[in-house]
Amino acid sequence: MTFHIVIEKAKDGYFVVECPSLPGCISQGKTEQEALANIKEAILGWLWAEDLKAVEAIRERIGSAPTVVAI
């Protein structure tokens, strides 16, 4: 998957990176490369957390766990 991100250098010298398409998905790093690595991890965590919410909603709706598909 591809995501667009925004990188800005903060006053404290850290690089702050945000993924606007995933609300609240923000990270930072001492270097731009570290910030990029950190936002990749943050994106994976954000997607994982949203999937857990979806699984719970499906369980409540149909009474069992959904089928899983990996992409």
Domains annotated on the chain, with CATH = 6-62 (3.30.160)
**For residues 37-53, average pLDDT:** 97
Q: Which pLDDT score is estimated for 71?
A: 83
Q: Looking at the predicted structure, is the pLDDT value of residue 37 above 90?
A: yes
Q: Which pLDDT score is estimated for 65?
A: 82
Fill in the DSSP letter of residue 67.
Answer: P
Burial class (CB within 10 angstroms; exposed 0-12, middle 13-18, buried 19+) of 17: buried
Query: What is the pTM assigned to this prediction?
Result: 0.86
Q: Looking at the predicted structure, is the pLDDT value of residue 10 above 90?
A: yes
